[in-house]
Amino acid sequence: MRNRSTVEYLGLWERIHNLDFNYLAFEVIENEAGRNSFVLTPKRWIESINALLIRQGLSQSQRLIQLNSTAITQIESLTKSGKIKVLN
């Protein structure tokens, strides 16, 4: 979990689905993300922001399915709101 985009996406998922999300700890992680020296372990992610997605005990494929479903929902809501246009 070194990529800044990955950290931002996971943070977005947690904001939407996690009532106990630790916003201050996430800000620190988000500011560090993308640096060459940055390494985020699942353990640090879970403990620092009270993460739900990784803690749920889902397999990697189940987590990917859940994240994909969230992404599809977000894209659908953006296209319906007119904020983005679908390319044909």
Distance between CA atoms of residues 34 and 83, nearest Å: 27
Contact present, 3 and 36 (Cβ < 8 Å): no
Tell whether the model's pLDDT for residue 4 goes beyond 80. yes
- Report how many domains make up the chain: 1
Residue 20 domain flag: yes
Residue 17 domain flag: yes
Write out pLDDT tens, residues 21-54. Answer: 999 999 999 999 888 888 888 888 888 998 887 6
Residue 88 domain flag: no
Tell whether the model's pLDDT for residue 1 goes beyond 80. no
Angle at 58 between CA 37 and CA 10, to 5 degrees: 40
Distance between CA atoms of residues 64 and 44, nearest Å: 20
Domain that holds residue 33: 4-81
Residue 58 domain flag: yes
